[in-house]
Every structure is written in structure tokens, then in C-alpha cells.
A and B are shown apart, each in its own frame.
Chain A
Amino acid sequence: DSGVTQTPKHLITATGQRVTLRCSPRSGDLSVYWYQQSLDQGLQFLIQYYNGEERAKGNILERFSAQQFPDLHSELNLSSLELGDSALYFCASSGSGRAGANVLTFGAGSRLTVL
């Protein structure tokens, strides 16, 4: 157990729907990162939050949004889902605002299947 908790582990939904993925970071970590992993693209950075504030954005679609709450857990919202959104979504946490300053600790991921 890495200490980073992601729910749900698996999610099957239909095109056009909206889902929310949840992440609780490791105790004491202020930064949360969201990554998408697909077979052809590898791990792609989506967005980072640090202590409740958005810190960096990667290749995140406009249909996707995220937030970090005062208790530091984070949610990734995916809307108007398309078949191509099917992927593993990972959350990672670290103690620093900059990824390289501390090791990223990853959760076990949420597998999203869009039918």
C-alpha cells in the first residue's frame, strides 16, 4: 500500500456520460498530480494541485477538470466521455510543489472503460 488511495478501482460507463475519480494523497503530502495512461501514449501528465491551488497543467482536455479540497483530497471530473477516454487514471502525491524535488508516490489507479 503506497498510502495514496484512489476510488473507484474500475468504472464502466457510456459515451456522453460524466464521471468523478477521487484521490486521497499520502499523509502529509500537499501536492496531487493526475496522470492518464493509455497503451499507445504512456503516462501523460494532466494537472497538478498544491495545497488547494492549481500549480501546473499538462495535456488536459477542456472536458476534464479537477480540484483539490481543504482536506487535500482531489477529484478529477471527466465529462462528455468519448471512447478514446478509456484509460488508466493515476493520482500521485508528493510533499513538494515541484515534482522533481520529491519522489512521486502513485496510487493503484482507476481504470475507466467507456462503451
Chain B
Amino acid sequence: EDQVTQSPEALRLQEGESSSLNCSYTVSGLRGLFWYRQDPGKGPEFLFTLYSAGEEKEKERLKATLTKKESFLHITAPKPEDSATYLCAADSNSGYALNFGKGTSLLVTP
């Protein structure tokens, strides 16, 4: 059975303190690994898609990377407005729907 596991569950950073969020996956034939951001009371918002090991994508202070077993979302010099829950999801050969992890709740304090 496909599994997507995110760690840590929660992370508190000081503004400017860089860190990484982890998404490990066990799926049958990964076709794509997705990162979404979710603000309280809102729906998830798309950030990145990664398709193959070694691929990297960047957007402002965020960089997503992919290996054969996991993906990382690196946050460089975060700001309070980066506070949100970050979700990863896998698209695999086993189904039509994205399989989401439980998310990492990030809080960035001034």
C-alpha cells in the first residue's frame, strides 16, 4: 500500500533560521511528487511538482528536492509569512488520486 510520511509534524523557527521539511514515500511507481502549502481555514495551494530523482525546483525562499525515497522542502531565511502547513503528495501507478502526507505545521516567529 502506498504511504507518504512527513516529518516533523510541527516545526518552530526564528525568522531567518533555515531548515528542511522531510517527505518520505513508499509508492508503487512514483509518477510525481507534489508540494502544497495550506493556510489556516483555506484549501491547499500548489507549490511544486518533482518527477525524477535529482530534480530540484525553487520559488522565493523555498527549494524542493527529490531522491528515490524522499523529498525535502528547504526553507532559507524564512519570514513569518511562511508560516503554514506544508503538505506533500505522491502520484503513483496504483491510483488516480494524489496520496497526501499529514503535513508539517511550520511557525516562523519574528
Which among B10-18, B62-70, B71-79, B90-98 touches the partner chain? B90-98
Number of interface residues of A (CB under 8 A): 26
A99 close to B91 (CB less than 8 A): yes
Given the interface pairs A100-B31, A100-B32, A103-B49, the reply to whether A45 lies near B98 with Cβ below 8 Å is yes
Q: What sequence of 0s and 1s flags, for each residue 18-50 of chain A, a beta carbon within 8 Å of any chain B beta carbon? A: 000000000000000101000001111100100
Q: Which of A4, A42, A98, A108 has a CB less than 8 Å from the CB of B100?
A: A42
Given the interface pairs A99-B91, A100-B31, A103-B49, the reply to whether A56 lies near B43 with Cβ below 8 Å is no
Known: A42-B101, A48-B96. 20 other contacts (CB 8 A): A2-B43, A35-B100, A42-B102, A43-B87, A56-B95, A56-B96, A92-B43, A98-B96, A99-B96, A99-B98, A100-B34, A103-B34, A104-B46, A105-B46, A106-B44, A107-B43, A108-B41, A108-B42, A108-B43, A109-B41
